[in-house]
Amino acid sequence: MEGIRKVPRRFPTKMLLKHRRVLLVIGLMAVLFAVQPVNFVGRIYGVAKDLWYTDAYLQTIKPVAIHNNTGQNNTEIACVIETSLGSCDGIGFASLVLQTIDEITTCLARGFVPTVIWTDCDYCGTPGPGVNYWTWYFKAINEGIEERAKTRVCVGPSTPLFYSSSLYLTRSGATGELDDFRFADMEHKVTRYIQPITAETRTLANYVISGYLKPADGIENSVDTFYQSFMDGYVNIGVHLRFHSGHVGEMDFFEQQMPKLQYFLQTVQRLINNIIATNTGKEIRIFVASDKDESIGVFKAEFGDNRVLNINALRGEEMSNKLQNKESGRLLGEQILTDILLLAKCDYLVHDESCVAALTYYYNSNITSYFVSGDPFDHKRLNAQPRFDSDELFRQAVAMVTSNSRVPSAWQESSFLIDLAIKCQVVWGFLNSDLPMEDVMCYYQNMKWSKCQEEFLQSQLAKNSDLRGLMNF
């Protein structure tokens, strides 16, 4: 059962402040009398459009649309992954990739043929028809299948009020999608906890990465050149550091604390001592990926310039400023992916909570994790052997998506309780100024770039019964 996502409080726009009472009245009317807000569009454009989008969008948990291609006889079902359509609020590159891996896994488990299209994100170029910025970073996946197939299913980003059911969830009571998963095990420590990363998570994610996330040629060549020049033949320790203020706020949201830089230094020193004791005569290199130049400087001062490696990249305020400029998006994305791929070539990974560290951990199923904030139980869990191989884990994912699709439609698709809970959440958002209208409007302003734009813009969203029909049961 999907749970309502805890949404951080946000200050309303000037429009929301100005029309607060009008918003409340219209919201209550829509909830209590089930009046379709579309009737108000011509009169109160901004308010009515928000409510109309919210009513259709928020009730779906994850918006999915089905489009039939006239005149096509290809019986394959194309699964178009369009997670970038909801990334107006500055989602990180690694987080966007993790969301994409999550959706590729679901598409495969349903028996569909996946393809990924990124049209609008911080790391994309100018959005428009026919563009796909995924290929800036990775090789195309089943390119053109969305046009050749008789039927295509378009998968949008998750609704901001909910966590959808990821196939990577393994613990009863845990929530989250793959980009939410934590290295820490917060069960019994917080009221609602996010799924902790496990060896099985890594094995299944690596299974999908190995088959579908091939780096673009330019990035792959750059990574290989750096590795052969500076890392080949050494014992390599990868270190990921993230101290930007935005990440500190994220840690607070998940009720965790960011460790100080000195704890990373201590962990690396202990690791070096262990390596020297077991690998006599083999030299060590430390590859550092950080969002601040100062952190890299501290590592070089501690361990030596000749031992500490890093790529030339934008960091700190310069990186934050460049994120505001579409022209710099590709450069930033390439630098982040290069860092991830070089970290994944290391023998050890010293890290704390971050999507970059998680993606690195999934890319290399043999890397040894040193989770700085972790305890011995975390270390054992993260470095354990999986209980099942990748083929068996994928079979379990197929069984899970099949089981989820067979839940009685009266509960999963049109439950009165779910519908009431959503509508109450919408009204509560208006009363408390924390409804994520920016996310809702971002999604709808980007729908014109979707491969199922007509269906999305008319709120013709697929139900589980529609997907069951395509899955032939």
- Which residue segment(s) compose the domain that 327 sits in? 222-373
Give a yes or no: residue 25 inside a domain. Answer: no
Q: What is the CATH number of the domain that holds 253?
A: 3.40.50.11350
The per-residue pLDDT for range 170-191, each reduced to its tens digit, is 888 888 889 989 999 988 777 7
Give a yes or no: residue 68 inside a domain. Answer: no
Give a yes or no: residue 244 inside a domain. Answer: yes
The per-residue pLDDT for range 286-319, each reduced to its tens digit, is 999 998 889 999 999 999 999 999 999 867 565 5
Structural domains counted in the chain:
1
Give a yes or no: residue 307 inside a domain. Answer: yes
Q: What pLDDT, on a 0 to 100 scale, did the predictor assign at position 50? A: 47
Calculate mean pLDDT across residues 111-118. Answer: 95
Give a yes or no: residue 339 inside a domain. Answer: yes
Model confidence at 423, in pLDDT bands (50, 70, 90)? low
Give a yes or no: residue 250 inside a domain. Answer: yes
Calculate mean pLDDT across residues 380-396. Answer: 95
| Range with lowest mean pLDDT among 94-98, 183-187, 235-239, 347-351 | 183-187
Give a yes or no: residue 144 inside a domain. Answer: no
Task: Output 110 or 128, whichever has higher pLDDT.
Answer: 110
Give a yes or no: residue 46 inside a domain. Answer: no
SS3 per-residue string spanning 14-33 = HHHHHCHHHHHHHHHHHHHH
Q: What pLDDT, on a 0 to 100 scale, did the predictor assign at position 53? A: 47
Model confidence at 450, in pLDDT bands (50, 70, 90)? confident
Model confidence at 411, in pLDDT bands (50, 70, 90)? very low
The per-residue pLDDT for range 360-374, each reduced to its tens digit, is 999 999 999 999 999
Q: What's the sign of the alpha-carbon dihedral 31, 32, 35, 40?
A: negative
The per-residue pLDDT for range 13-61, each reduced to its tens digit, is 444 444 545 555 555 555 544 444 444 444 444 444 444 444 444 444 5
Calculate mean pLDDT across residues 61-78. Answer: 84
Q: What pLDDT, on a 0 to 100 scale, did the predictor assign at position 202? A: 97
